[in-house]
Amino acid sequence: MTFHFTPSDLINVLFISGGIGICLLYFLLISASAHLRKEVRRYFQVFFSLILLYISAHLARQIMDGIPGAAVRTWLYIVTFLEIIAAGFMTHILALLVIVVCRLERKRSLSLVAVSYSILMIHVILLIVGWPLDLIYYFDAGNVYHRGAGYLLSNLCPLLLLLFNSILLLRHRERILPKIRLAFWIYMIAPIIAIIIQSFSSSIQYIIFASVGASVYMFAVIVQNQNDDYEKQKQENTRLDAELSMASRIQSSMLPSIFPPFPGREEFDIFASMDPAKEVGGDFFDFFLVDEDHLCMVMADVSGKGVPAALFMMASKIILANNAMMGKSPAQILTDTNASICSNNREEMFVTVWLGILEISTGKLTAANAGHEYPVLRHPDGAYELIRDKHGFVIGGMEGAKYKEYELTLEKGSKLFLYTDGVPEATDGAGEMFGPERMLAALNSAPDDAPRDILKTVRAAVDSFVKDAEQFDDLTMLCLEYKKAKGE
Amino acid sequence: MIIRKEQNQDKVILAPEGRLDTVTAPELEKEIQALPAEVKDLTMDLEKLEYISSAGLRVLLATQKKMNATGGEMKVCRANETVLEIFEVTGFSDILTLV
């Protein structure tokens, strides 16, 4: 087999082989593009495969055209069929790509996809039916390609799809970035211009050059756009991270953090800590002197986690403290706080609160509990035990909720331990919970330690229990040691 | 999380399984929001619920309030020891209809 290349043949081969090379390269490039949206990537993979099929079939037809033989004849029919069918699929895929880029609502997208599919199916049926009838194309006795009587029909569906795409682009132009819109237009118009030029000098296949060039340009523009989006997203994430860590610092600075907090007050020793599971948390503790003789202590846990919980926590903490500073009783503080929070609580958030006021001079502790964990008390020389106190409903849960208070008496050396559910509900890798028993056991392992060391002991026990499991809930604890009554 | 659902006209039984916490609570919330407005009899079957966190309680509270407002009824049944204890401690046992 020998080839006689005219200059225009040479140019055609250059276009086609260059086209095949570029398509293959781009196919690999698409697969490696990390920041492409998944469906866009899939469309481009199919798209470049189709162009490859199209120009390969075209090349094969050009090479075999006019070579006699029955086998060649069969192959000629097959590759011509593939070439024309690929052209139809390419415009269909373009329609799908435009629909994806427009980000229309689902129902509308689906109906548009259905229209495009229907046109494509007409194209396929025309080609299949036309094959035995030599309707679209045929090869004469010398295996030379000729257009059939119905050749124009083969252009009908691609043209219809082209029209469909133009309408889509015009109708939804405000949904597509100008740069991408331009690339789509170039892709659709370039082949038409190529066909017009070709009709003057039919020997050179400008159409291949135009389709490959325009597809590559379209791909480049979309990839660039998605990369820009990705960069923007990354910057946004960095900004959010910075804001979160600042929020975290603001939150922790809202809690008492200087220990000992009341230098010179020998009557009691207090220590507390909060470790949020995320940057910000919904747990909090608080303690402050209402007056010279009354110490108010709060332990609370907001429903949920993260930023929503943290916002709710800030509001709850301030409202509780304001109510307490007015000198109200614990039950009254909880009742009034509940009323304030319920008046503006569309998200149904709530907070569990244990609040106690210690009369420092006598050791009398008055407390109320709004759905919070049982406090733990140890009398001198005794063991740490749960106080199964009366529970009211969580704060923010129900308008008009009422709370009851109860009294305990702390003796010299009594210790009170408060915590949130993050402690008993710390979970190990097997899904087992730490539980109140293990917590009491940890407390009782060194009952005479100072509050700061007691918290360390409990924390160590939790850590060695959960081992490598991720900390799931905020971990917050407070311990008070009552040392002596005033004037003693 | 697996949420088993049985619907018989305006009676619905929802049975969440496993842990109901920050991660899984939104799934149950979505399931409940998707219920048609004519549902007047909702039963939460907690037989296979191992644990409920405050995020899960929030969903129950919101649902209870929604049912109260629309004149419906929500029942909670077959909760295990752990879950009952949490209802008890948080005061939820007073506002839920435990059967």
- What is the mean predicted confidence (pLDDT) over A75-93? 89
Interface of B with A in 22-51 (CB under 8 A): 22, 50-51
B25, closest residue in chain A (CA to CA): A304
Which residues, at least 6 apart from A386, have a Cβ–Cβ distance to it below 8 Å? A374, A375, A376, A436, A440
Per-residue confidence at A488, pLDDT binned at 50, 70, 90? Answer: low
Specify whether A468 is located in the same domain as A352.
yes
Which residues, at least 6 apart from A431, have a Cβ–Cβ distance to it below 8 Å? B50
Position A423 in a domain: yes
Contact B54 A393 (CB under 8 A): no
Specify whether A451 is located in the same domain as A334.
yes
Q: Are A137 and A78 in contact (CB under 8 A)?
A: no
Query: What is the predicted pLDDT for the residue at A202?
Result: 64
* Euclidean distance between CA atoms A373 and A370, whole angstroms: 9
Asked whether the predicted pLDDT for residue A333 surpasses 90, the reply is: yes
Chain B positions in Cβ-Cβ contact with residue A393 (cut-off 8 Å): 90-92, 94-95
Return the top range by mean pLDDT from A35-44, A107-116, A301-310, A321-330: A321-330
Query: What range defines the domain where residue A291 resides?
Result: 259-482
Q: What is the ipTM of this complex?
A: 0.84
- What is the mean predicted confidence (pLDDT) over A244-253? 89
Chain B positions in Cβ-Cβ contact with residue A349 (cut-off 8 Å): 58
Helix (H/G/I), strand (E/B), else coil: A170: helix
Query: How many domains does chain A divide into?
Result: 2
Cross-strand partners of A405: A368
Asked whether the predicted pLDDT for residue A230 surpasses 90, the reply is: no
Position A251 in a domain: no
Position A25 in a domain: yes
Specify whether A227 is located in the same domain as A336.
no
Specify whether A269 is located in the same domain as A151.
no
Query: What is the predicted pLDDT for the residue at A300?
Result: 95
- What is the mean predicted confidence (pLDDT) over A402-418? 94
Contact B58 A304 (CB under 8 A): yes
A373, closest residue in chain B (CA to CA): B89
Asked whether the predicted pLDDT for residue A486 surpasses 60, the reply is: no
Chain B positions in Cβ-Cβ contact with residue A472 (cut-off 8 Å): 21
Query: What is the predicted pLDDT for the residue at A362?
Result: 93
Specify whether A139 is located in the same domain as A179.
yes
Does residue A323 or residue B23 have the better pLDDT? A323
Chain B within 8 Å of A307 (Cβ-Cβ)? no
- What is the mean predicted confidence (pLDDT) over A177-197? 86
Instruction: Give the Cβ contact number of residue A438 at 10 Å.
Output: 18
Specify whether A227 is located in the same domain as A266.
no
pLDDT above 90: percentage of residues in chain B: 45
Chain A within 8 Å of B84 (Cβ-Cβ)? no
In our burial notation (b when 16+ CB lie closer than 10 A, e otherwise), range B30-65 reads: ebbeebeeebeebbbbbeebebbbbbbbbbbbbbbe
- The shortest CB-CB distance from B95 to any of A301, A370, A393 is to A393
Chain B positions in Cβ-Cβ contact with residue A398 (cut-off 8 Å): 95
Asked whether the predicted pLDDT for residue A487 surpasses 80, the reply is: no
Of the ranges A109-113, A198-202, A268-272, which one carries the lowest mean pLDDT score?
Answer: A198-202
Residue of B68, B15, B24 lying closest to B44 (CA atoms):
B15
Q: Which two tokens stand for residue B48?
A: 């296979």
* Segment A160-170, tens digit of pLDDT: 888 888 898 88
Contact B92 A371 (CB under 8 A): yes
Residue of A173, A195, A194, A200 lying closest to A184 (CA atoms):
A173
Q: Which of A303, A305, A313, A386 to mutate to test the interface with B (most CBs of B within 10 A)?
A: A303
Query: What is the predicted pLDDT for the residue at A270?
Result: 95
Query: What is the predicted pLDDT for the residue at A358?
Result: 96
Contact A304 B95 (CB under 8 A): no
Query: What is the predicted pLDDT for the residue at A117?
Result: 92
Chain A positions in Cβ-Cβ contact with residue B89 (cut-off 8 Å): 371-374, 391
Specify whether A288 is located in the same domain as A211.
no
B60, closest residue in chain A (CA to CA): A348
pLDDT above 90: percentage of residues in chain A: 39
Specify whether A183 is located in the same domain as A77.
yes
- What is the mean predicted confidence (pLDDT) over B3-15? 89
Domain borders along chain B are 3-98
Asked whether the predicted pLDDT for residue A61 surpasses 80, the reply is: yes
Q: Are A337 and A319 in contact (CB under 8 A)?
A: yes
Chain B positions in Cβ-Cβ contact with residue A372 (cut-off 8 Å): 89-90
pLDDT above 70: percentage of residues in chain A: 97
- The shortest CB-CB distance from B61 to any of A350, A370, A391 is to A350
Chain A positions in Cβ-Cβ contact with residue B82 (cut-off 8 Å): 433
Per-residue confidence at A34, pLDDT binned at 50, 70, 90? Answer: low
Number of A–B residue contacts, CB under 8 Å: 62
Asked whether the predicted pLDDT for residue A1 surpasses 60, the reply is: no
* CATH classification at residue A40: 1.20.1070.10
Per-residue confidence at A131, pLDDT binned at 50, 70, 90? Answer: confident
- The shortest CB-CB distance from B61 to any of A305, A372, A397 is to A397
* CATH classification at residue A459: 3.60.40.10
Which residues, at least 6 apart from A208, have a Cβ–Cβ distance to it below 8 Å? A12, A15, A16, A19, A55, A58
* Euclidean distance between CA atoms A198 and A365, whole angstroms: 97
- The shortest CB-CB distance from B91 to any of A301, A302, A392 is to A392
Asked whether the predicted pLDDT for residue A196 surpasses 60, the reply is: yes
Contact B89 A374 (CB under 8 A): yes
- The shortest CB-CB distance from A350 to any of B58, B88, B89 is to B58
Q: Quote the radius of gyration of chain B (alpha carbons, Å).
A: 12
Specify whether A352 is located in the same domain as A434.
yes
B19, closest residue in chain A (CA to CA): A431
- What is the mean predicted confidence (pLDDT) over B34-46? 89
Per-residue confidence at A15, pLDDT binned at 50, 70, 90? Answer: confident
- The shortest CB-CB distance from A371 to any of B22, B82, B91 is to B91
Query: What is the predicted pLDDT for the residue at A320?
Result: 97
pTM of the model: 0.72
Query: What is the predicted pLDDT for the residue at A305?
Result: 82
Specify whether A322 is located in the same domain as A223.
no
Sheet holding A415-419, edge to edge: A268-275, A475-482, A415-419, A376-378, A385-386
Helix (H/G/I), strand (E/B), else coil: B41: strand
Which ranges constitute the DSSP H helices of A103-150? Answer: 106-133
Asked whether the predicted pLDDT for residue A201 surpasses 80, the reply is: no
Chain B within 8 Å of A342 (Cβ-Cβ)? no
* Segment A270-305, tens digit of pLDDT: 999 998 887 888 899 999 999 999 999 999 999 888
Query: What is the predicted pLDDT for the residue at A192?
Result: 82
- What is the mean predicted confidence (pLDDT) over A121-137? 88
Helix axes B54-70, B81-90, angle to 10 degrees: 70
Query: What is the predicted pLDDT for the residue at B35?
Result: 87
Asked whether the predicted pLDDT for residue A3 surpasses 80, the reply is: no
Specify whether A214 is located in the same domain as A147.
yes
Specify whether A13 is located in the same domain as A98.
yes
* Euclidean distance between CA atoms B54 and B91, whole angstroms: 12
Alpha-carbon gap: A304 to the closest alpha carbon of chain B (Å)? 5
How many CA atoms, within 13 angstroms, populate the side-chain half-sphere of residue B99?
Answer: 9
* Segment A353-369, tens digit of pLDDT: 999 999 999 999 999 99
pLDDT above 70: percentage of residues in chain B: 100
Interface of A with B in 396-435 (CB under 8 A): 397-398, 421, 425, 431, 433
């409202």: which residue's tokens? A319
* Segment A426-435, tens digit of pLDDT: 888 888 889 9
Strand intervals (E) in A132-237: 137-139, 145-147
Contact A350 B51 (CB under 8 A): no
Does residue A33 or residue A130 have the better pLDDT? A130
Question: B3-98 — its CATH code?
Answer: 3.30.750.24
Contact A305 B22 (CB under 8 A): yes
Query: What is the predicted pLDDT for the residue at A313?
Result: 93
For the range A433-440, what are the long-range contacts, defined as Cβ-Cβ under 8 Å and sequence gap of 24 or more? A433/B51, A433/B82, A434/A461, A434/A462, A434/A465, A434/A466, A436/A374, A436/A386, A438/A465, A439/A376, A440/A376, A440/A383, A440/A384, A440/A385, A440/A386
Contact A370 B65 (CB under 8 A): no
Residue of A289, A340, A347, A286 lying closest to A315 (CA atoms):
A340
